[in-house]
Amino acid sequence: MFGVVLLIFTLYSAVISGTELTFELPDNEKQCFYEELEEGVTFHVDYQVIAGGNYDVDCFVTDPMNNVLYQERKKQYDSLTHTTAMTGVYKVCFSNEFSTFSHKTVYLDFRSGDQERLLPGMNKATSLTQIESTCLSIHEILKVVADSQTRYRLREAQDRIRAEDLNARVSYWSIGEAVIICVVSIGQVLMLKSFFKEKKTIST
């Protein structure tokens, strides 16, 4: 069974190429990623803002002739599937130029290529053997597991960043309260001492 799973991973990685990364997008900045694709290739773009500001970013995709294939503004997450009409360099850009002080952390998943048959001879019209059916079942389950793990990782990263931000705010608020209490306490002590302090009388 381990050999079957290893074979599935090997064939799957040989057919579909992809890039998965998380990057920082500073305020008033734009970052672009380039991929050279052949004509008739289907590519998928998935992105999500996991930290920063209102969790939104501008995104647009262009073809080699600079025709806009996709354009969305102030989106937290979205996905795109497109089949190329020409050979050349395709561009995926993320813009945070509308933000003046908050930088963003963006997750990007770019995949290109069509999924072909896992094993040779599976294009025939005959019924699948038991091992072929098992391979297909395992392959589909692994894809679901991989997608679920990606969603959980993004959600965990987003929640962790929010928790760290909340913890920092609570810490700063506690320090501020402690400083205010100390100042008020010192002021009260000085005020009470002034009440019991003898006033000097001036004799003429």
Residues 63 and 36: their CA atoms lie apart, in Å, by 10
Q: What single-letter DSSP state applies at residue 186?
A: H
Residues 61 and 89: their CA atoms lie apart, in Å, by 11
Q: What single-letter DSSP state applies at residue 162?
A: H
Reading the chain (204 residues) residue by residue, the pLDDT tens digits are: 333 333 333 334 434 456 788 888 888 889 999 999 888 888 888 888 888 888 889 999 999 998 999 998 988 888 888 899 889 999 999 999 888 888 888 888 888 876 555 555 555 555 667 777 777 788 778 878 877 787 778 778 778 877 888 888 899 999 999 999 999 999 888 888 887 776 655 555
Write the single-letter amino acid at 199: K
How far is the first Cα of the chain from the last one, in angstroms, to the nearest whole number?
Answer: 111
Backbone angles phi, psi at 65, to 5 degrees: -95, 15
Specify whether the CB–CB gap between 132 and 122 falls below 8 A: yes
User: Which domains, from first to last, does the chain contain?
Assistant: 17-114 (2.60.120.380)
